[in-house]
Amino acid sequence: MIKRLHHGSFRVSSAALPFLFVLAVFVNGCGSAASSDPAATAAKADANPLTAADPAAAPVMPAGPSIDIKANSPADTVKVFYERLRANRFIDALKLTNLRPAVEGLTPEDVKDLGVDFSEVASSVPPQMPINGEIVSGDEATVTMKMPNEKDGKIETNEIRLRKEGDVWIMLVADPEGERAVRKEGKNYFFSLRMEVHHREAQAMLERINKAQGIYALQNQGKFADLETLANKGYVPADALSAESTGYNYKIALAFDRSTYTVHATPAVYGKTGRLSFASRIRKGKDPELVSRDSKGEILQN
């Protein structure tokens, strides 16, 4: 639903990412949601030539625009977009894209509720606007920029597509299917995206907890542990202990002899951070059984 802006930066599949990542990938080249594993995230950052700790290892960015940018032109739209990102004017930046219907109705409370923290994104916007080409054909345009490749940091020319609407140019971020969804859902679009991501992450977290329990049981005479123990031992990320970053509350219900357990995941705020409740049950001699349904935010009962 969200297309790739061909400047080595932005790819979101039909299972789209929430609002923060929509912005972060414009700048940082992220192609997927942040890992739940802090170690994996750190390793990925260390391997990323764009975020290397050694400044000498980072790619040399091109200078600013190498073409004459006229006011209200496609190239000017791209330039202003990045300037607004850098100035923390993220809603204004997205109004220059075909995601505009999804941000026009957002109130300050909505933005806060979405958990958007843009400071890191703003600091990652390149100080130069390396725009080196603009091709206009009727109401369609392509702007080219030289940007580091997200894989190896090599500088390459990438394309950004735009469309003219009235007297203004907009950057095409969503494909036709995504654009229809944006127009239909309006400001609820980003809340829906966030819940989709949280649903997938909740399922992945339960699967990870099950694996952690298997490892713990092998080392503890077949006995399982509570969530705090698994987190303290590093078997599951600390994120599992709080809904702040996950949008879900996780709980492990142990049998009295710790020989079986059920792990629950429920949305922190039903209808905003998620709609589905999850449960994964372990029975003696059987594989984990994962179930999910909309229970209005309540824990799924056995």
Give per-residue pLDDT as tens, 274-288.
999 999 987 766 778
Do residues 129 and 73 make contact, with C-beta atoms less than 8 angstroms apart?
no
Q: What is the mean pLDDT of residues 200-211?
A: 94
**Mean pLDDT value across residues 180-200:** 88
Selection from 135, 152, 14, 11 nearest residue 74 by Cα = 135
CA distance 205 to 273: 15
Nearest to 67 by CA among 135, 151, 140, 147: 135
Confidence of residue 219 (pLDDT cuts 50, 70, 90): very high
Which domain-ending residue is among 186, 219, 236?
186
Indicate the number of domains in the chain: 2
Question: Is residue 200 pLDDT above 60, yes or no?
Answer: yes
Using alpha carbons, select from 28, 26, 34 the residue that is nearest to residue 10: 26
- The verdict on 59 and 182 lying in the same domain is yes
Q: What angle do CA 94, 97, 101 make, to 5 degrees?
A: 75
- Choose the weakest-confidence range: 6-10, 18-22, 33-37, 160-164: 6-10
Q: Which residues pair with 97 in a beta bridge?
A: 171
Q: Do the Cβ atoms of 224 and 216 come closer than 8 Å?
A: yes
> Structure tokens of 298?
């309540």
**Same domain (yes/no): 126, 86:** yes
> Are 131 and 73 found together in one domain?
yes
Q: Are residues 223 and 282 in the same domain?
A: yes
Task: Give me the percent of the chain exceeding a pLDDT of 70.
Answer: 72
Model confidence band, residue 194 (pLDDT cutoffs 50, 70, 90): confident
In the DSSP assignment, the letter for residue 237 is -
> What does the block give as tokens for 156?
């390459």
Give the domain-ending residue among 160, 186, 212. Answer: 186
Q: Which residue has the tokens 């109004």?
A: 95
Residue 263's pLDDT band, with cuts at 50, 70 and 90, is: very high
Would you state the pLDDT for residue 145?
Answer: 85
In the block, residue with structure tokens 């679009």: 189
Which domain, by its residues, includes 59?
19-186
State the greatest distance between any 2 C-alpha atoms of the chain, in Å, as a whole number: 74
**Same-domain check for residues 38 and 163:** yes
| Dihedral sign (CA 228, 232, 237, 239) | positive
Q: Tell me: do 122 and 252 sit in the same domain.
A: no
Mean pLDDT rounded to a whole number for the chain: 77
Question: Is the model's pLDDT at 301 over the cut of 70?
Answer: yes
The identity of residue 262, as a single letter, is T
Other beta carbons within 10 angstroms of residue 244's beta carbon come to 9
- Position 65 scores a pLDDT of 63
- What is residue 110's predicted lDDT score, i.e. its pLDDT? 82
pLDDT in tens, 44-81: 333 443 334 444 444 555 566 678 889 999 999 999 99
Q: Is the pLDDT of residue 166 over 50?
A: yes
Most confident listed range (105-109, 116-120, 181-185): 181-185
Compute φ and ψ for 163, nearest 5 degrees. -135, 140
pLDDT of residue 94 exceeding 50: yes
Confidence class of residue 267 from pLDDT cuts 50, 70 and 90? Answer: very high
Lowest model confidence (mean pLDDT) among 99-108, 146-155, 235-244: 146-155
